[in-house]
Structure 1
Amino acid sequence: MFIGKNLNTIRMLRGYSRKELAGKINVTEQAIWQYEVKNLMPDIKNIYDLSQIFNVKTNFFLNDIHKIFDDDLNVKRSHIAFRSLNHNINNKIIYKQHMQAVFLNNLTNLLYGFLKVPDSLFIKLSSEVQNIIEKSGSRNDTIAEVAKVARNYLMPNEYSSKDLLFNLEKSGIIIYEKQIDEDADAYSFWTEDKKHAFIILGNDKNIAVRRSFDLSHELGHLLLHQNVEFELLDTKEYRVIEEEANIFASMFLLPEDEFKKDFDQINKKSNPDSYIMIKEKWFVSYQMIAVRAYKLNLISQQQYRYFWMSINKKGYKKREPLDDKLIIDRPMKIKSIFKLLFNNNVINIEKVLEEMHVEIDFLSEYTGIEKDFFKEYLSEKQNSSMFIEKNFKIKN
């Protein structure tokens, strides 16, 4: 029997409309509706085509769905800080990212269920931050204090944000890197029980200083905006929230006293190329350096204007010097947990794929972990089968 709910779940996870999916397997939109709602059995070819599109096994549509796909209501859509160039982003995209957030939370809980997980430093930091926020001083002063406290927790005795991603993972934040929609950079969320904080990074920028900013911006949302219902914000409110996260990021990455000392050493403060040593030391962009300096009254309005003219003239808006040399960090915690569980025979990849009714490509797509990592743990029998399927064809 075909289980239409399973098709609906996997379709929404990928972010396809019924019309889009219908076009991919050459059926009508009405047919997709009948598959999902009426449990109408597609023909064998269409079931196969669906499995290829979604990187699942054909029996994914014929068996009860694994609990990893369940919506346990612990990830609320309105609490996802989804950063996009367009505030009025398509509901379909928001729904897709919510579905993927639910999946990643369920996967993380599944993996953590096999482990004794250490107490989260980030939970402790978050609790202290909430006490700071409740004092209700000026918003800018509050953000400054939160940034200072966060830096003391997460990067004590460190100048550069080179190891920021590692430090955030070590503190307890769960970070994934995967394909996100074109006009979005990253997003973050707390689970409703406040046990886990997530940051989901896009994998298409590949610029180290951009990653530092993305991580710090999302960190700002996690600390400052725990209870904000982002989905309900109007455009003006959304801009305020985004600006607060930007301010936090600049204060967190470039603490005032230390930054002032370095900036005072620059002779030509309106020339972006004069910032190269600060960029290398602090792992931040020329543009962030200038914005921070301007907010601290370290450069005049005229110097600031000339700086941006130079940025545009030199083409630094898209890529700056050192962007091709500074090494970008990648999330490692979830991959390391998989490795630990595989190496100790707590779980094996064949059983994971069999129970979830998915292929390796599916796991790689949604976790951002390269396919070759999972393939290394396939048994010799499975590897042989994959070799045969790839290299041998049935004669017509």
Structure 2
Amino acid sequence: MQTRIEFNPKQLTSARIARGMTMKDLAEKSGLSRQMISNYETGKTKPKAESLLSLISVLNFPRNFFSSDMPEVHSGAIYFRSQSAATKKVRDMQKERLKYLYQVFQILSKYVNFPEVNLPELVEKDVHNITEEDIALKASELREVWGIDSVSPINDIVKLAERNGIIISEANMSDKHLDAVSRWIVDRPFIMLTDNNESAVRRRFNIAHEIGHIILHNSVESIHDYSPQELKNIIEKQANMFASHFLLPSQAFEESLLSTSLEYYVDLKKYWKVSIQAMIFKTHFLGLINDDQRLYLNKKISWNKWRTKEPFDDDMKVEKPELLEKVYSMIVENNVLQRNELNTSFKIPRDEIEKIIGVSIMDFDNEEKQKPLLKLIK
């Protein structure tokens, strides 16, 4: 019989990092010394009840989080869909939330069977030996495995990935320099999307990019084994290439490209659901326009101020994860567990649960209060 953990120092570190705080920040906001925070996190001392309440108040994490022992997530390298300006602090915040996503998945999977992972054989090559032909082949194989023909646009990549065993969730944080994070955990891939209010086409490309990492880079044990130049010019470039091949199959895209005018790309965007800039990149990659033509089109994009917001970005619906919400609702609505009991079992803050699952986790007491009172009229 295991003894109950009264205070787990690792959990305090996790909560602090997830909230984007340094030890100094937490010390100042909780009224404790930095040395005391350090002692708590290293396990040298345990906080007294009053100190723990102060920490809970600042971090806004439930009490049972600090007494729990969440499993360490070791398997699989973590990939960040980020720009170079993304800070270590932001990446660390996202890494902790990926752990919380896995915790939610573990709880839900006790009661509901999730779709089995359905992917083509993973690439086991060293990243330096992965060729453009390898990438195109895997993109084509994924379409075949997922039942998509080689000529059609992908309708909803989020639903498609979820139906094939990939767990996707939004993170309870936003940062313009980091769009997503992904990794294999045990035997299943997970993708967590940063809440950046990105356009529909950017989100679709982000997810395709992360799926590229999942399939192409299974041999990578840690991204820290590679230099920043290797990450940007090899690993990230390969994931981008996979996304391009997956969303825009070369032959089908070429046949649809009846003109290379910017106006035609605007119309084509509605069909392929891919950004104008990504289609111009693909056109250049296929050798259908030269360097000067690509430069001219990109200058027109800048002139039109379309770098960050393109035509139809406001009209195209952003695809949202739905699988976790459906599973959560199945458990509650079929009375497998009461809502409060299920919510408490996650052992993470309400705001984190609601963002991960994508639904309000209102407790039964609040639901009862909101029910209309019916009176018999005589």
TM-score computed with the length of structure 1 as normaliser: 0.82
Equivalent position amino acid for 1:176 in 2: S
CA 1:29 to 1:197, structure 2 compared with 1: closer, same or farther past 3 Å? same
Please give the alpha-carbon distance, in whole angstroms, between the structure 1 residues aligned to 2:276 and 2:336.
47
CA contact (8 A) 1:144 1:251 kept: yes
CA contact (8 A) 2:30 2:58 kept: no
Equivalent position amino acid for 1:112 in 2: S
Q: Does 1:149 align with 2:141?
A: yes
2:161 maps to which residue? Answer: 168
2:374 maps to which residue? Answer: none
* 2:203 pairs with one of 211, 214, 220: 211
Q: How far apart are residue 55 of structure 1 and its match?
A: 2.7
CA 1:339 to 1:251, structure 2 compared with 1: closer, same or farther past 3 Å? same
3-state SS in 1 of match to 2:361: helix
Equivalent position amino acid for 2:365 in 1: E
Please give the alpha-carbon distance, in whole angstroms, between the structure 1 residues aligned to 2:236 and 2:347.
39
CA deviations over 1:96-125 (Å, ceiling 9, x no partner): 333322232232122112123443323xx2
* 1:34 pairs with one of 39, 43, 51: 39
CA 1:88 to 1:360, structure 2 compared with 1: closer, same or farther past 3 Å? closer
Please give the alpha-carbon distance, in whole angstroms, between the structure 2 residues aligned to 1:38 and 1:253.
52
Q: Does 1:379 align with 2:364?
A: yes
CA 1:356 to 1:151, structure 2 compared with 1: closer, same or farther past 3 Å? closer
Q: Does 1:56 align with 2:53?
A: no
Q: Does 1:224 align with 2:224?
A: no
2:373 maps to which residue? Answer: none
Q: Does 1:110 align with 2:99?
A: no
CA deviations over 1:190-243 (Å, ceiling 9, x no partner): 12x3x1011111221330000111011111111100121212210221121111
1:393 maps to which residue? Answer: none
3-state SS in 2 of match to 1:147: helix
1:302 maps to which residue? Answer: 292
3-state SS in 2 of match to 1:199: strand
CA deviations over 1:7-54 (Å, ceiling 9, x no partner): 23322343422112112223321232234334343573x544432333
CA contact (8 A) 2:343 2:361 kept: no
CA deviations over 1:34-91 (Å, ceiling 9, x no partner): 34334343573x5444323333334654xx31x4x231x4445xx001222128842x
RMSD of equivalent CA atoms: 2.8
CA 1:209 to 1:98, structure 2 compared with 1: closer, same or farther past 3 Å? same
Equivalent position amino acid for 2:71 in 1: D
Equivalent position amino acid for 2:361 in 1: F
CA contact (8 A) 1:4 1:38 kept: no
Equivalent position amino acid for 2:102 in 1: N
2:23 maps to which residue? Answer: 18
Please give the alpha-carbon distance, in whole angstroms, between the structure 1 residues aligned to 2:273 and 2:52.
49
CA contact (8 A) 1:175 1:199 kept: yes
Structure 2: unaligned runs, 5 residues or longer: 371-378
Q: How far apart are residue 156 of structure 1 and its match?
A: 1.0
Q: How far apart are residue 354 of structure 1 and its match?
A: 3.7
Count of residue correspondences: 359
3-state SS in 2 of match to 1:345: coil
Please give the alpha-carbon distance, in whole angstroms, between the structure 2 residues aligned to 1:364 and 1:226.
31
CA contact (8 A) 2:26 2:58 kept: no
* 2:358 pairs with one of 369, 377, 383: 369
3-state SS in 1 of match to 2:168: strand
Q: How far apart are residue 350 of structure 1 and its match?
A: 1.2
Please give the alpha-carbon distance, in whole angstroms, between the structure 2 residues aligned to 1:356 and 1:190.
21
Q: How does 1:1-396 map to 2 (within 5 A)?
A: 3=7, 5=9, 6-36=11-41, 37-42=43-48, 44=50, 46-58=51-63, 60-61=65-66, 64-65=67-68, 67=69, 69-71=70-72, 73-76=73-76, 79-86=77-84, 89-90=87-88, 92-122=89-119, 125=120, 127=121, 129-130=122-123, 139-154=131-146, 156-157=148-149, 159-178=152-171, 179-191=173-185, 193=186, 195-228=187-220, 229-239=222-232, 240-263=234-257, 265-266=258-259, 269=260, 271-356=261-346, 358-365=348-355, 367=356, 369-370=358-359, 373-375=360-362, 378-380=363-365, 384=369
CA deviations over 1:104-151 (Å, ceiling 9, x no partner): 2232122112123443323xx2x2x448x69x9870111111111112
CA contact (8 A) 1:217 1:246 kept: yes
Which is richer in helix?
Answer: 1
Q: How far apart are residue 316 of structure 1 and its match?
A: 0.4
Equivalent position amino acid for 1:260 in 2: E
Please give the alpha-carbon distance, in whole angstroms, between the structure 2 residues aligned to 1:292 and 1:103.
37
Moved over 6 A (4+): none
Q: How far apart are residue 94 of structure 1 and its match?
A: 3.8
3-state SS in 1 of match to 2:152: coil
3-state SS in 2 of match to 1:322: coil
